[in-house]
Amino acid sequence: MIRLAFFAAGLILLIYLILQLGPHNVVSAIFNLKWNLVSVTLIYTGSEMIRGVALWKSLPEGESQPYLKMLGIRLSGEAVRYLTFAGPFVGEPLKAWLPLRAASDPRRRDPRIPNISAFQISPRPEASCGQ
């Protein structure tokens, strides 16, 4: 139910922004991109799908979820990263926390998995190594 509420809120915000900018301006900007829009979209989609596979394969045997669920987790983290003021400080840990939340048996969690977020958001590699 909460997903539907967030989806509706996002859709309302998108419609509001399009109306504020003017539908003609939005459509003309998209048409000005021509085939560049298609190529950039395909490249980004491919990279996110490959990263989804990496997330899916990186979890221990008992912790892994179906690929589409892991891809959804990856895209959720990216959405938070790009659309909120918190950016990578919330998006990257979210990508590490959601697979834990989605695990069927919370007592079998791998204690190394939460450390992924510390490594991903740290600008200094030594910060995640405990030095």
Closest C-alpha among 119, 101, 100 to residue 111: 100
H runs (alpha helix) in the chain: 2-21, 23-33, 35-58, 67-83, 88-102, 115-121
User: pLDDT tens digits, the chain, 131 residues: what are they?
Assistant: 787 888 888 899 999 999 999 999 999 998 898 889 899 999 999 998 998 888 788 877 766 678 888 888 888 888 888 877 777 777 777 777 777 666 644 544 455 444 444 444 444 444 444 44
- SS3 of residue 112 by DSSP: coil
Please give the pLDDT value at position 123: 46
**Token couple for 130:** 């405990």
Rounded to 5 degrees, what are φ and ψ at 84? -120, 160
CA distance 78 to 57: 19
Please give the pLDDT value at position 100: 67
